Amino acid sequence: MSRKSDVCLILEGTYPYIHGGVSSWVHQLICALKDIRFSLMIILPNREYIKEMKYKIPENVVDIRQVFIHDHEIEAKKYKKPNKNAAYSELEEFIINAANGDIDKFDGIYHYLLKENNTINLYDLLFSKYGWNLITNIYKHFKLNISFIDYFWTYRFTVLPLVQVMQAQVPESAIYHCISTGYAGLLGAVAKLRRNGALLLTEHGIYTKERKIEIAQASWIYDEKTKEARPQKTMSFFKQWWITTFSLMAKICYRHCSEIITLFEENQKLQIACGAMPSKLSIIPNGIDLKGFSPMVRTIQSNRTKFIIGFVGRVVPIKDVKTFIKACKIVTQYLPDIEILIMGPTDEEETYYHECVLLRDMLDLKDKMTFTGPVNVKEYYKKIDLIVLTSESEAQPLVILEANAMGVPVVASDVGACRELLNGRLPSDKALGASGLVTGVGSPDETAKAIMEILGSPDKYNAMSISGIKRVTELYNQNDLFAKYLNLYEKYLY
Amino acid sequence: MAGIGFRLQKLLKEDTYTGLMKGYLYSAIISSGPMLVSIICIGVLGFLSFPVLNTRDYLLFRTTIIYIFSFSIIFTGVFQMITTRYVADRLYMKEPNSLIPCFMALNIITVINQTVIGALFFYHVDKNFNYVALSTSLYVIISWLWNTMIFISATKNYNTIVIGFVIGSILSVIGGHWAGSHYGLAGYIAGFSAGQFVIVVFLMANFFREFDFFKSIDFNFLNYFIEYPDLCFAGLIINLSVWADKFIFWVSPYGVNVQGLFYTFPVYDSAFFLAYLSIIPALSIFLVRVETSFYKKYRSFYQMVTGKASLYMIESAKDDIIRDLKTSMMILIKIQGTITVVLIAGAVKFIQIAKLQWIQLIIFKIGTLSAFVLIFFQLMVIIMFYFEFRKEALFLTLLFLVTNITATLVTLKFGFASFGYGFFAAGFVSLFCGYFVLNYKLSNLEYLTFASQPILKIKA
């Protein structure tokens, strides 16, 4: 199990222990590229996560290693190294620069923290005078005036996972491929520096941004009390601390990457804002496996008034189901015979679901609109005329690809990759024509208008159906997209 | 010791001369009561006993009392620090109801242990039943007294404490003298014991009156032996080290065999005992300063740490502690220095008043210097316990024990003129080391406070 691998995938809290979009993508990638020997470096919070694998590990995985960033077995080895002062003052300088966003010194200091050097070790950082001088010097350098006990513990809980990650025993590999920034990105950067491999990064969602939202809402981080009653514009010191830490990790990762890949253009803007060099960026979207889909070019008669409109997604606030329901109400005023299906689990946020049911009943849509619960959508696509998405936030929704693959046009809110998926991204892609319409977020009017525009114009409907099928088969075929990864890997393997 | 602080603060708040004097007097009694009483009683009874007892019986009486005080404090010392800690923790946790059960349990252990030890020992001194029974009883009573002193600092009726000591001491002297003149040696011991018993009862009654209890006996505090073994050793060694030089002289060729297991060397002992009395003012001043001004700063430091203060505030709180300790030390040096100078200058007079022999003059002089050094050393150790520098405190007490034994053995070789210098040298070396250890520890106080925190397991 410990042969040298071609590609080491660095995963944080996902595959193979946790179900999800990214996990299944990783699984499919490994399965698709049978000739590549993969190793997995898995970053997990603690040992409790490794109870059960949710995926069957494919044969071409040759090595699996884990690092548990919040488990700590600190060796209190106090063997005297001649003098660590030099290393610590370099580290101090790095941290002071890093707090201002400058990570240039990282390449010069990372090796002090490696297990084989052990110049700067966890014991010293947490318990010794070295660590103490480091944090008090920094505190004084920035003339801080905040709660020291919180500063101290925030430091400890920042340092603990960072050092665990940096000291992880990474499999030997020609390529290190991070599937997110954060701890995985940092681990990848260190692995690259240590082993001289190439570093690739694929970001599905933008880790730094996701963390930022999480931290802003976190209640476990100490907020200094302010006397002002109005809400603060800036976040508290410690929230800022965590956000800075995560964006620095991303920055270090971006700097050492040879390729920075994401799913769609929106994400690229965020990556650039986080410090990624534009020249390294590229897009490889997620594709779908076309095998299960039978494309069917759709047409509608000009006098037809009966339609089935579908909404695919979990009934949760972020999908903004209410906007969809309101839009449907508007549509029924012009097309009273439509039937509406909301397909997706309703048990995730039950209060929201009940609110949606209430809204439907209030708007007198009870006999037209059905919540189906989780269903096999592929079966439903055959009879559905139009798919609508009103999400507040999306990455690259597979629903659009699936609907288009079946020849169903889509109305989607302008979030994530929706515009690219419906209108095309590159010139050749755009030339295929639109496969649906993009609407404003949270706008029932626009959504209703788009629905009626498509259903009211048989020519447009037909063109969109054709464009959708073409676009998905030509540009979003999963096998083609994984082949792009194969090309990338081969570029750095030889 | 923590409990007494607030009350002393109140006492001193009157800020009148009498208020201050009262404060110091109470502190003197709490910090050195039993020692003070025993030395004074032996001295007074010594004066009075000559016409009543013959020289041999007086020597037997005196040796009995000294053995009882020294061995009782050493053996109860094993529990002393542990129990002090337990009491402080319970008071901190606002569980005052658990003091009496602990006190009862401690006394049960003490009675059983000390009865066995005392009876066995005194049987090998004198087979006379009355003597063995009375001496063993006194041994147990004095052990009780030590135990009571641990708990008494948690109470507030200082008047009762002082009255108890005064009445008990007077009773000891009168009772001893009266019973002694009727029944000889046994009467002397019995009378003396009666007075000591009155002190113990007074203190215990005072203690019991103030606290409630749900169950009468609780051996829970014994768990602290597992949790804080260093406190157990420190308690033992602190007391042992102060007596080590005396023990060595007793069994040395200079010592006198009184009877059976009784060896003694009054020439050395009494000079030193007299010199020890000189530390009482310093001890009480220190206690008052610690319990009032120092304790406030000490508490404020830890409040800053846990109360989300900035590093600068924490650092300045630490500086306050250090400054306060330095001020206390300076006051002590001035007062104890003056006392020492006066005692040495007037040594001839004191020797005459105390009816000591002339050969004890040198020992008395070096004894006062030793007392000077010893008091500083012991205060340093107490401060270390306040800051939880338990390992260092244990190391220092051990250092003093070892240096005291070594240096005393060396002086035995050099002869009479060097007696007492061993103890002084040991105290000086230990004080010197203690100063550096405490200084280092205190100047790193905030680091030690934070870095010693274990890192908690985070729940995911």
The pLDDT tens digits of the residues spanning A18-55 come to: 877 788 899 999 999 999 999 999 998 888 877 788 88
Q: What are phi and psi of A143, to 5 degrees?
A: 50, 50
pLDDT of residue A284: 93
* Count: domains in chain B: 2
Q: In this structure, is residue B352 part of a structural domain?
A: yes
| A299, A254: one domain | no
Say which amino acid occupies A493: L
Chain A positions touching B460 (Cβ under 8 A) are: 45-46, 48-49, 70
Helix (H) and strand (E) counts in chain B: 17, 2
Chain B positions touching A126 (Cβ under 8 A) are: 451, 455
Report the first-to-last Cα separation within chain B, whole angstroms. Answer: 42
| B309, B175: one domain | no
Say which amino acid occupies B356: L
pLDDT of residue B193: 92
pLDDT for residue A77 is more than 70? no
ipTM, two decimals: 0.77
**Cβ contact B368:B343 at 8 Å:** yes
Q: Nearest Cβ partner of B455 from A49, A126, A148?
A: A126
| B293, B384: one domain | yes
Instruction: Check A148 against B314: CB less than 8 A apart.
Output: yes
pLDDT for residue A5 is more than 60? yes
Distance, in angstroms, between A198 CA and closest chain B CA? 33
pLDDT for residue A1 is more than 70? no
Q: In this structure, is residue B458 part of a structural domain?
A: no
Instruction: Check A152 against B450: CB less than 8 A apart.
Output: yes
Instruction: Check A151 against B305: CB less than 8 A apart.
Output: no
| B33, B159: one domain | yes
Q: How far apart are CA A139 and CA A131, in angstroms?
A: 12
By mean pLDDT, which of A89-93, B38-42, B74-78 is the weakest?
A: B38-42
Interface probe for A, chosen from B305, B306, B310, B445 (most Cβ of A below 10 Å), is B310
Q: Half-sphere exposure of A63 toward its Cβ, with a 13 Å CA cutoff?
A: 18
By mean pLDDT, which of A459-463, B112-116, B378-382 is the weakest?
A: B378-382
User: Which residues of chain B have a Cβ shorter than 8 Å from any chain A Cβ?
Assistant: 305-306, 308-312, 314, 444, 447, 450-452, 455, 458, 460
Q: How far apart are CA A438 and CA A390, in angstroms?
A: 10
Say which amino acid occupies B111: V
* Count: domains in chain A: 2
By mean pLDDT, which of A320-324, A339-343, A362-366, B208-212 is the weakest?
A: B208-212
Query: What is the CATH classification number for the domain harbouring A36?
Result: 3.40.50.2000
- Closest residue in B to A128 (Cα–Cα): B451
- Mean pLDDT score across all residues of chain B: 84
pLDDT of residue B1: 37
- Closest residue in B to A46 (Cα–Cα): B460
Domain boundary among B227, B255, B285: B227
DSSP, res A290:
G
| B54, B183: one domain | yes
Q: Is the pTM of this model over 0.90?
A: no
Domain boundary among B205, B227, B249: B227
pLDDT for residue B3 is more than 60? no
Residues B249-282: pLDDT tens digits?
A: 999 988 888 888 889 888 888 888 888 888 888 8
Instruction: Specify the long-range contacts of residues A219-228, CB closer than 8 Å, at least 24 apart.
Output: A222/A147, A222/A150, A222/B308, A224/A146, A224/A147
Q: Which residues contact A80 (CB under 8 A, 6 or more apart)?
A: none
**Cβ contact A162:A241 at 8 Å:** no
- Closest residue in A to B454 (Cα–Cα): A127
- Closest residue in B to A145 (Cα–Cα): B310
Chain B positions touching A139 (Cβ under 8 A) are: 311
pLDDT for residue B34 is more than 70? no
| A417, A297: one domain | yes
| A349, A241: one domain | no
Residue A208 structural domain: 1-287+477-494
Residues A217-240: pLDDT tens digits?
A: 777 777 665 544 555 556 788 888
| A273, A371: one domain | no
**H/E segment holding residue A341:** strand A339-343
Residues A256-310: pLDDT tens digits?
A: 999 999 999 889 999 999 889 999 999 999 998 888 777 888 888 888 889 999 9
Domain boundary among B168, B202, B227: B227
Order of all β-strands in the sheet with A38-44: A61-68, A38-44, A5-12, A173-178, A198-203, A259-262, A281-283
- Closest residue in B to A152 (Cα–Cα): B450
Token output for B74? 């050493």
Distance, in angstroms, between B87 CA and closest chain A CA? 28
Distance of CA A318 to the CA centre of its chain: 15
Chain A positions touching B452 (Cβ under 8 A) are: 127
- Mean pLDDT score across all residues of chain A: 88
Token output for B413? 């070789």
Q: Give the C-alpha distances (Å, rounded to integers) separating A214 from A268, B169, B320, B323.
A: 21, 72, 42, 46
| A357, A307: one domain | yes
Residues B103-161: pLDDT tens digits?
A: 999 999 999 999 999 999 999 988 889 899 999 999 999 999 888 888 877 676 677 77
pLDDT for residue B5 is more than 50? no
Chain B positions touching A157 (Cβ under 8 A) are: 458
**H/E segment holding residue A42:** strand A38-44
Query: Angle of helix B421-443 relative to helix B229-251, nearest 10 degrees?
Result: 160
Name the pLDDT band for B458 (thresholds 50, 70, 90).
very low
Distance, in angstroms, between A369 CA and closest chain B CA? 41
Q: In this structure, is residue B419 part of a structural domain?
A: yes
| A246, A305: one domain | no
Residue with tokens 């049978």: A34
Instruction: Check A129 against B450: CB less than 8 A apart.
Output: no
Chain B positions touching A127 (Cβ under 8 A) are: 451-452
Name the pLDDT band for B98 (thresholds 50, 70, 90).
confident
| B37, B124: one domain | yes
Task: Please spell the DSSP secondary structure of B216-263, one letter per residue.
Answer: S--GGGGHHHHH-HHHHHHHHHHHHHHHHHHHHHHHSTTSEEEETTEE
Helix residue spans in A280-345 (DSSP H): 321-334
Chain A positions touching B447 (Cβ under 8 A) are: 129, 132
Q: In this structure, is residue B121 part of a structural domain?
A: yes
Beta bridge partners of A38: A7, A61
Q: Nearest Cβ partner of B458 from A49, A70, A145?
A: A70
User: Which residues of chain A have a Cβ shorter than 8 Å from any chain B Cβ?
Assistant: 45-46, 48-49, 70, 72, 74, 126-129, 131-132, 136, 139-140, 144-152, 156-157, 160, 222
| B222, B314: one domain | no
**Cβ contact A36:A61 at 8 Å:** no
pLDDT of residue A138: 94
**H/E segment holding residue A372:** strand A369-373
Residues A93-107: pLDDT tens digits?
A: 999 999 888 888 898
| A283, A245: one domain | yes
| A256, A336: one domain | no
DSSP, res A305:
-
| B441, B313: one domain | yes
Residue A440, by phi and psi: left (phi above 0), alpha (psi -120 to 50) or beta?
beta
- Closest residue in B to A48 (Cα–Cα): B460
Residue with tokens 């513990």: A153
Beta bridge partners of A41: A10, A65
Instruction: Check A147 against B310: CB less than 8 A apart.
Output: yes
The residue with greater pLDDT, B9 or B440, is: B440
- Closest residue in B to A47 (Cα–Cα): B460
Q: How far apart are CA A44 and CA B46, in angstroms?
A: 79
Residue B76: exposed, middle, or buried by beta-carbon count in 10 A (0-12, 13-18, 19+)? buried
pLDDT of residue A75: 62
Token output for B392? 């260092």
| B118, B14: one domain | yes
Residues B256-265: pLDDT tens digits?
A: 888 888 898 8
Name the pLDDT band for B22 (thresholds 50, 70, 90).
low
**Dihedral angle computed from the Cα positions of residues A10, A16, A19 and A24, in that order, rounded to the nearest 10 degrees:** 70
**H/E segment holding residue B434:** helix B421-443
DSSP strands (E only) in A85-243: 173-178, 198-203
DSSP, res A477:
B
| B218, B313: one domain | no
Residue B411 structural domain: 273-446
Residues A295-336: pLDDT tens digits?
A: 888 888 888 889 999 999 889 888 999 999 999 999 999 999
Residues A156-169: pLDDT tens digits?
A: 989 999 998 998 88
β-bridge pairing A61-68 and A410-413: unpaired
Residue with tokens 């592929």: A378
Residues A127-138: pLDDT tens digits?
A: 889 999 999 999
**Cβ contact A323:A300 at 8 Å:** no
Percent of chain A with pLDDT over 90: 55
| B178, B286: one domain | no
Q: Is residue A446 classed as helix, strand or coil in its secondary structure?
A: helix
Query: What average pLDDT score do residues B91-96 get?
Result: 81
Q: What are phi and psi of A117, to 5 degrees?
A: -90, -50
| A456, A483: one domain | no
Q: How far apart are CA B425 and CA B433, in angstroms?
A: 12
Q: How far apart are CA B460 and CA B456, in angstroms?
A: 12
Report the first-to-last Cα separation within chain A, whole angstroms. Answer: 23
Q: How far apart are CA A418 and CA A436, in angstroms?
A: 10
Q: Is residue A309 classed as helix, strand or coil in its secondary structure?
A: strand
pLDDT for residue B18 is more than 70? no
Q: Nearest Cβ partner of A149 from B305, B452, B458?
A: B305
Q: What are phi and psi of A40, to 5 degrees?
A: -120, 130
| A258, A295: one domain | no
| A94, A106: one domain | yes
Q: Is residue A113 classed as helix, strand or coil in its secondary structure?
A: helix
Interface probe for B, chosen from A125, A149, A151, A164 (most Cβ of B below 10 Å), is A149
Distance, in angstroms, between B441 CA and closest chain A CA? 12
Chain B positions touching A129 (Cβ under 8 A) are: 444, 447, 451
Q: Nearest Cβ partner of B306 from A49, A139, A149?
A: A149
Instruction: Check B309 against A148: CB less than 8 A apart.
Output: yes
- Closest residue in B to A131 (Cα–Cα): B451
Interface probe for A, chosen from B304, B447, B450, B457 (most Cβ of A below 10 Å), is B450
| B312, B372: one domain | yes
pLDDT of residue A354: 94
pLDDT for residue A3 is more than 70? no
Name the pLDDT band for A74 (thresholds 50, 70, 90).
low
**Cβ contact B142:B68 at 8 Å:** yes
Chain A positions touching B444 (Cβ under 8 A) are: 129
Chain A positions touching B314 (Cβ under 8 A) are: 148
Instruction: Check B458 against A145: CB less than 8 A apart.
Output: no
Distance, in angstroms, between B232 CA and closest chain A CA? 26
Q: In this structure, is residue B55 part of a structural domain?
A: yes
pLDDT of residue B356: 78
Preceding amide of A278 cis, omega within 30:
no
β-bridge pairing A61-68 and B256-259: unpaired
pLDDT for residue B4 is more than 50? no
Say which amino acid occupies A192: K
Instruction: Check A149 against B312: CB less than 8 A apart.
Output: no
Q: How far apart are CA A61 and CA A37, in angstroms?
A: 6
Instruction: Check A156 against B455: CB less than 8 A apart.
Output: yes
Instruction: Check B308 against A149: CB less than 8 A apart.
Output: yes
| A149, A169: one domain | yes
Q: Is residue A275 classed as helix, strand or coil in its secondary structure?
A: coil
| B301, B391: one domain | yes
Pick from A84, A106, A214: nearest CA to A166: A106
